[in-house]
Amino acid sequence: MDLRDGQTQPILDPNQPTHVYHLALDIGGSLAKLVYFTKDDNHLVDGEEGISHRKTLQKSNGHKQYPVLNGRLNFKKFETSKINDCLEFIKSMKLHIGGSQPQENPGSQPIAVKATGGGAYKYADLFKERLGIILDKEDEMDCLVAGANFLLEVVHQEAFTYMGDQKQFVQIDKNDLYPYLLVNIGSGVGMIKVEGEGKFERVSGTSIGGGTFLGLGKLLTKCKSFDELLELSYRGNNREVDMLVGDIYGGMDYSKIGLSSSAIASSFGKAISDNREREDYKPEDIARSLLRMISNNIGQISHLNALRFGLKRIFFGGFFIRKHPFTMDTLSVAVNFWSKGEAKAMFLRHEGFLGAVGSFMSSDKHGLKELLANEVVQRSPSKLSFAVDKTLRSLPDGEFNGDESIECSVYAA
C-alpha cells in the first residue's frame, strides 16, 4: 500500500468525482457515521505489482497472485438530527451507486446498503424514498465488535493509553488481543465482552453517556454542539460545582478510606447552595463537572465489569470521547483508581466508527468484488481481505477527527 507522505486527507473533492465502490452506515441516536471505500485514482494496480510493494503482506499470504485494490477507507459523520445532510452527501457523491452501475444491472433490485444502529430501522423508509436504497440492517453489537476487531488487528497504532497528558500507543499482538472489554460510548453506553471474531456478549451498559453529556450540557449552558461543550469544559473548574471530600471534611483528606480532599464526593453537590442560581455558575465549570461525572461513572462501571470477567484491557470507543484529553484522562484515572492500577483503559483512534466499520466489514462487498472480478482476475473472489501497511509511519498524531480516511488495500483471500 502506498501511503504517500502528507496524503492523509480524504480525497473528497466533489469536482473530481471519485470512484466509490462501497458504503456502510451506522446511524445512532446522535450521529450518523459513514464508512466508504474509494479507489485510488491510479486505479487498480496489477496484483503482483501492487503486492510487490508490500512484502509483509505477501509473506503473510504466502501467495503471489492475489489481486489488490488500492484505495482508502473514508470516514464521515453527520448529526442524526440533520439526517438530510447525510442523504444529500450520499446523493452528491453517488455513493449509493457503489460498484454496480445501474446500466450494467438493468432491472436489478434496488441497491442494498449495510447499516447498523437504531437509525437503520428508524430511517429505513427515508432512505428508500429519497435514495432508493434499501438499508440492510446489521446488528449493532455485531458491527461494533467486528469494527473493533478489525481496527485492532489490522490498523497500526490504533490503540493507545492516555494518562496525565501522556499518550502512548499500544502495540497489540493479534494473538493476545482477546478477551477484552469493549466500551462503546455513544448516546448511551454499551459494554461488550469480546472473546474473538464474532464471539462476544453484551454484559452491561449505562444510560449515562454522550447523550447525557450533551443533553444536560445544552440545558445547563447555552452550548449548541458537542464540540462547543467540550471546548468549554476544557476551560472549566469543577471545584465550583462539585462537592469535594475536602468541602465536607473542612479541607482535609478522608485518608482512612483513601479519599483525597480533591476527590469528588458528590457531583454537582455544591450547586445546592441557596445563594447561587444557574446564571451565577460559569458554563465552563458546569461543563467540566458534567464531563467528569459522566467519564468517571463510565470508567467505574467499565472497571467493575472488566473485573467481573477478569478482563485486563478495556477499550473505549464511541463518539463521546472525541480524543478529548480530559475525557480520556478521567476515564483512565477512574479505571486506574478503581482497579488499583490493574486494569488499563485504552482508546481507539477510530473510536466513533466502530459500528460503521463493522457494518462495512459485514457486507459481501459486492461492489468491490465486482470491481476486482471485472478488472483484475475475471472471476469473482470469494472473500476479501483488507490490509493497512504496518510499515508506514504513524498517522498524524491523534488528530483524527472523523472526516478522514485511511489508505488500505483490498485483496482477495
Within 162-181, the residues that bind other proteins by CB under 8 A are: none
* Interface with other proteins, residue 249, by CB under 8 A: yes
Tell me the closest approach of the beta carbon of residue 408 to other proteins, in angstroms: 30
233 is a site residue for other proteins (CB under 8 A): no
Is 393 a binding residue for other proteins by CB under 8 A? The answer is no
- Which has the closest alpha carbon to 81: 225, 252, 192, 231? 225
Peptide bond into 179 cis (omega under 30): yes
Least gap, CB of 34 to other proteins (angstroms): 18
Restricting to residues 15-74, which ones interact with other proteins according to CB under 8 A?
Answer: 28-30
Task: Concatenate the DSSP letters of all residues of 82-95 into one string.
Answer: GHHHHHHHHHHHTG
Q: Pick from 34, 90, 93, 214 the residue near other proteins by CB under 8 A.
A: 214
Does 207 participate in binding other proteins (rule CB under 8 A)?
yes
**Please, what is the minimum distance in Å from the beta carbon of residue 303 to other proteins?**
9
Neighbours of 71 (CB within 10 A): 29
Contact 143, 358 (CB under 8 A): yes
Query: Shortest Cβ distance from residue 186 to other proteins (Å)?
Result: 8
85 binds other proteins (CB under 8 A): no
Write out the three cell numbers for 201.
456478549
Which regions of 172-218 does DSSP assign to beta strands (E)? Answer: 180-185, 189-196, 199-206
CA angle 141, 144, 149 (to 5 degrees): 125
Q: Which of 293, 346, 376, 408 binds other proteins (CB under 8 A)?
A: 293
Subset of residues 113 to 142 that bind other proteins, contact rule: CB under 8 A: 117-119, 121-124, 139-141
Q: Does 296 bind other proteins (CB under 8 A)?
A: yes
Using the rule CB under 8 A, is 271 a contact of other proteins? yes
Backbone angle region of 39, left / alpha / beta, with phi > 0 → left and psi within -120 to 50 → alpha: beta
- Residues 97 and 206: their CA atoms lie apart, in Å, by 38
CB atoms within 10 A of CB 341: 9
Residues 6 or more apart in contact with residue 73 via CB below 8 angstroms: 35, 36, 37, 357, 360, 386, 405, 406, 408
Which residues, numbered 323-352, are part of the site for other proteins (CB under 8 A)? 338
- Name the residue nearer to other proteins (CB basis): 73 or 135: 135
Shortest separation between residue 219's beta carbon and other proteins, angstroms: 5
Q: How far is the CB of 311 from other proteins (least distance, A)?
A: 13
Q: Is 212 in the site for other proteins (CB under 8 A)?
A: yes
Alpha carbon dihedral 97, 100, 106, 108, in 10-degree steps, equals -80
Q: Which of 167, 218, 282, 322 binds other proteins (CB under 8 A)?
A: 218
Q: Of 52-60, 68-76, 272-280, 371-379, which segment contacts other proteins by CB under 8 A?
A: 272-280
356 interacts with other proteins by CB under 8 A: no
Cell of 292: 467528569
Per CB under 8 A, the list member of 38, 74, 297, 336 interacting with other proteins is 297
Q: What is the rounded CA–CA span in Å between residue 331 and residue 300?
A: 8
Q: Which of 11, 97, 243, 373 binds other proteins (CB under 8 A)?
A: 243
Name the residue type at position 138: E
Q: Of 124 and 377, which has the nearer Cβ to other proteins?
A: 124
User: Per-residue x/- marks for other proteins, 359-388, CB under 8 A?
Assistant: ------------------------------
**Using the rule CB under 8 A, is 282 a contact of other proteins?**
no
Helices (H), 46-166: 47-52, 55-61, 83-93, 119-122, 124-131, 140-154
